[in-house]
Every structure is written in structure tokens, then in C-alpha cells.
Amino acid sequence: YTQVSLRLAARIQEQDNQILTGAEVTGIRHHADSITVNTKQGDISAKQVINCGGLFSDRLARMGGAKPACKIVPFRGEYYVLKPAAEHLCKALIYPVPNPEFPFLGVHFTKMIHGGVECGPNAVWAFVREGYTKTRINIGDLLEAATYPGFRKMAFKYWKTGLKEMWRSFSKPAFVHELQRLIPEIKAADLEAAPAGVRAQALGPDGTLVDDFMIDESDRMINVLNAPSPAATSSLRIGSMITDLLARRIQ
């Protein structure tokens, strides 16, 4: 996927377009016939803005004056990898039958293209939007989620599942037990901890975990508000859908 991203970046630059990285958006201002995005590397004016800010997409949409009918709640996905001596236990991609009630697949085994086998991810509520480790907490993010009616409704409905996920996050034997449903021979000693990712999960005000892509339009902005897995795999198709939307808006 890194290679896909690098190739896309190269093609954008080949056509004389600019990619600005590390330019945090801090404000969005509307004018009569344009929109200005304030970033830590200066202001950018445009006719239209596409917001694909992942974990911060709802905040960016609000910054731009939209009223998205959802809030992003971060769910950390933690992984282990199989130690080389145990890799023979996994000969293919192995997935559980998903529970249609949840947008998360459940832990699975992924044979990686450059070798190695990933085991995971679980889905644990992260106490901060960029909560890539268990110890990161941000009181503002925590309160924002906890005071959102949708979050409280979700927590009320799925508290048991949530607690089990947290338990599996802190207990390696519990995580291993879940993996053994797919490969019974796996033992804790076969696994070592690997870096985690954080899902940007849109949550509706009624507590619904949005499981489809959600793309919203507002004044001079297209907001990608929910792009869960497999949005990376589908990124080219989603991209062309967004450019179609954009073409219609600027006609």
C-alpha cells in the first residue's frame, strides 16, 4: 500500500500539482467565491475543498461550517506477529465469519506480501483520537466522546463486548485464546507484540456504528466522514467517485 501511495503521489506531482505534508489545518474560512484553508504552513485558497482527514474528518467538517450527523470515535486495533519459527502454522489469509452487528471483522491472520504473519486487530476504544498506545489519554477527546449521546447509547448496548475487547487488550492469554479459534495450535510463546493502528469510526447520534462509507457535501466542501476498511483497498474507486462529485459541483 505504501508503494501505491508513493506512485499516486508521483503521478500527482508529474502533473505539476503540489503535495504539502505536515501542514496541519487549523481553520477554514468561506468567502463569496472561494474558500481559504489555514494551515501551519500558510493559507491555501481554493474553489472547493475535499476533506479526507480520517480521525479528524468530523472536526474539519465542522471547522468548515458543516454539521455532520456523526462523530468520529477512535478504535485502536492491536496486533501481534507470529515469530518466524511459528509462521508455518499460517498458510493462507484466515478470517472469521464476521458478526454483521459490528463493522469490525474480529482478529484474523494476514500473510504479508514481504513475509511475516500479522495476527489481529482487536477493536478497543482509544481514549484519544491518535491513541496508538494503551497509555495515551486526552481528557478533551475523552470528554468529547463520553458526552456524545451516540457514544453513550453505543456503550449501553455493547458494554459487554467493549469490556471483553479491553480485557483482550491487556491480557495476552485472552488475545491468544481468540486467535486459537482460527488456529488451535497457536501458543502465547509464538507471538510478539506489533504496532497498533487506530480506526476512525463514525458513530451516529443513535449509537449506530456506521459500517458503510459516508461522504457528505457542504458549502464548497466534500467531507469523507467514514472511510473504514476496506477503504484502502477501494481507495482508487472511492477517489474516482469523489472526483465525479467534484466535477458536478464545478460545472
Ligand X SMILES: Cc1cc2nc3c(=O)[nH]c(=O)nc-3n(C[C@H](O)[C@H](O)[C@H](O)COP(=O)(O)OP(=O)(O)OC[C@H]3O[C@@H](n4cnc5c(N)ncnc54)[C@H](O)[C@@H]3O)c2cc1C
Q: Where does this chain bind ligand X (CB under 6 A)?
A: 24-25, 52-56, 60, 77, 121, 197-200, 224, 227-233
- Nearest approach, Cβ of residue 161 and ligand X (Å): 17
Q: Cβ closer to ligand X: 55 or 186? A: 55
All three cell numbers of 113: 506480501
All three cell numbers of 174: 485472552
- Nearest approach, Cβ of residue 53 and ligand X (Å): 4
- Nearest approach, Cβ of residue 205 and ligand X (Å): 21
Q: Which residue is nearest to ligand X, using beta carbons?
A: 54
Q: Cβ closer to ligand X: 55 or 81? A: 55
Q: Cβ closer to ligand X: 24 or 212? A: 24
Q: Cβ closer to ligand X: 151 or 223? A: 223
Q: Cβ closer to ligand X: 85 or 112? A: 112
Q: Phi/psi of residue 57, each to 5°?
A: -60, -35
- Nearest approach, Cβ of residue 85 and ligand X (Å): 25
- Nearest approach, Cβ of residue 122 and ligand X (Å): 9
- Nearest approach, Cβ of residue 96 and ligand X (Å): 14
Q: Cβ closer to ligand X: 209 or 227? A: 227
Q: Which of 54, 49, 9, 50 is CA-nearest to residue 229?
A: 54
3-state secondary structure the chain: CHHHHHHHHHHHHHCCCCCCCCCCEEEEEECCCCEEEEECCEEEEECCEEECCHHHHHHHHHHCCCCCCCEEEEEEEEEEEECHHHHHHCCCCECCCCCCCCCCCCCEEEECCCCCEEEECCCEECCCCCCCCCCCCCHHHHHHHHCCHHHHHHHHHHHHHHHHHHHHHHCHHHHHHHHCCCCCCCCHHHEEEEEEEEEEEEECCCCCECCCCEEEEECCEEEEEECCCCCCCCHHHHHHHHHHHHHHHHC
Q: Cβ closer to ligand X: 38 or 208? A: 38
- Nearest approach, Cβ of residue 146 and ligand X (Å): 21
